[in-house]
Amino acid sequence: MIAKLETMKTEKREKMRDGNGVITLTHLFSKDDMLGKSRMVASLSLPKGASIGVHDHVKEAEMYIITSGVATVTENGKEYTLEKGEAMFTGNGDNHSIENRGDEELTLYAVIFN
């Protein structure tokens, strides 16, 4: 299956998971496309000051892969900095959040596994 930009669904979410600002999500594949193995495969864009609030992953897991900018992430209350090419994986009931405290737009891929 090929995902072409013109067929991808883009949406904007304000205060995602009680975070700040407006996040742009571009869905590469739908849950049906992923044969039920993933509920989200998307590219996310967070402008300066935007964030996705703390949320749990119970009976699922999420992976972030940073593609540009600098991310401040928390996992179970501990803070980390991630840059281009770095990633995090959260699951098993753990929680995480992500924030763009940098001066440039933060972009990443997010995959939520069932």
The reported pLDDT for the residue numbered 81 is 98
Superfamily of structural domain 5-113: Jelly Rolls (2.60.120.10)
Q: Which among 35, 21, 33, 50 is positioned nearest to 108, based on CA atoms?
A: 50
Cα(13)–Cα(108) distance, integer angstroms: 15
CA 18 to chain centre: 14
Q: Is 6 exposed, middle or buried (0-12, 13-18, 19+ CB in 10 A)?
A: exposed
Residue-range domain boundaries for the chain: 5-113
* Digit-coded pLDDT (tens) for 39-96: 999 999 999 999 999 999 999 999 999 999 999 999 999 999 999 999 999 999 999 9
Between the alpha carbon of residue 21 and those of residues 6, 37, 86, 88, the distances in Å are 25, 30, 23, 22
On whether the pTM is more than 0.75, the answer is yes
* pLDDT, average across residues 4-22: 96
